[in-house]
Structure 1
Amino acid sequence: MTADNTHHGACLCGAVRIAASPKSDKFGACHCSMCRKWGGGPLFAVECEADMQLEGAENVATFGSSEWAERGFCKQCGTHLFYRLKEGGHVAIPVGLLDDHRPWRFAEQIFIDQKPSYYAFADNTRNLTGEEVFAQYTGE
């Protein structure tokens, strides 16, 4: 993790602090049913390097939301901390968790085929279906 690209954040109660290096200045929205159920709406997240640092890790709980991924949250206040693949190093952190005011760019929406009709975004983004997302990781 390089210091010049390290971003910091914390949960609502401050029991968990995170330091992570985003792969770019872009963030995306996931419209899958699990993300919407987890947070009440789409997950707005930035993809980060796998070597994120968690201070207060004893306050982190994980939930295996599928065979391939898990979601982390603070045991004390429930703040969502990360979504990560169990293999392969993909880590997504809610962009709102990060304390800085970097000019993030909304660039991608995934599981667009699961997006409900009751909301829409005006930004011109790359849109991928669930099938296209899985193809990125499996190479099929």
Structure 2
Amino acid sequence: MGAVWSCHCSQCRKLSGHYAASFDTEEEAMDWQARHVAEHITDGGSARGFCPDCGSSLYFRASDGSFSVEAGVIDNPTGGQISQHIFVADKGDYYTLDDGLPQAVGRD
């Protein structure tokens, strides 16, 4: 698993109810246990994958093809740790980021 990052963009906050912790990976490396995966295509051409049975968010595929997986859907120990916060300008006003990790206004 790659480095985990916390996304504070409004889309991730609305999807998760807080911020999303995700990691970049190759899409082909994932072996989904779900019988099938549904996708929501955004206006910008990105896709959010989710389980149509329980609604769990599984992944995000950006319009440029980059792919990230929601860290919370991995059952096995990941060995990962949050390494940075992204889209901090959109974070909720009900919490502070005081863990000393790098913060980016967008996605580097």
Interval containing the TM-score (normalised by the shorter chain): 0.7 to 0.9
**Counterparts in 2 of 1:36 and 1:49: CA distance versus 1, 3 Å:** same
Provide, for residues 44-70 of structure 1, a one-character-per-residue CA deviation record: whole Å limited to 9, x for no partner. 111112323344665211111241411
| Structure (1 or 2) with the greater strand fraction | 1
Percent identity of paired positions between Structure 1 and Structure 2? 28
| Structure (1 or 2) with the greater helix fraction | 1
* Structure showing greater relative contact order (alpha-carbon pairs closer than 8 Å, 6 or more residues apart): 2
1:37 counterpart = 2:42 = no
Question: Aligned partners of 2:25, 2:73: CA distance in 1, in Å?
Answer: 13
Aligned twin of 1:67: 44
Question: Aligned partners of 1:58, 1:113: CA distance in 2, in Å?
Answer: 37
Question: Aligned partners of 1:49, 1:111: CA distance in 2, in Å?
Answer: 22
Aligned twin of 1:80: 57
Choose 1 or 2 for highest CA Rg.
1
Question: Aligned partners of 1:31, 1:65: CA distance in 2, in Å?
Answer: 18
Provide, for residues 72-120 of structure 1, a one-character-per-residue CA deviation record: whole Å limited to 9, x for no partner. 00111101110111333x1111111111223322111111111122012
Amino acid in structure 1 at the alignment position of 2:74: L
Question: Aligned partners of 1:102, 1:63: CA distance in 2, in Å?
Answer: 26
**Counterparts in 2 of 1:66 and 1:54: CA distance versus 1, 3 Å:** farther
Structure 2 gap ranges (5+): none
Q: TM-score, normalised by structure 2?
A: 0.85
Amino acid in structure 1 at the alignment position of 2:72: G
Structure 1 gap ranges (5+): 1-21
Q: TM-score, normalised by structure 1?
A: 0.67
Amino acid in structure 2 at the alignment position of 1:112: V
Give the number of equivalent residue pairs.
108
SS at 1:126 equivalent: coil
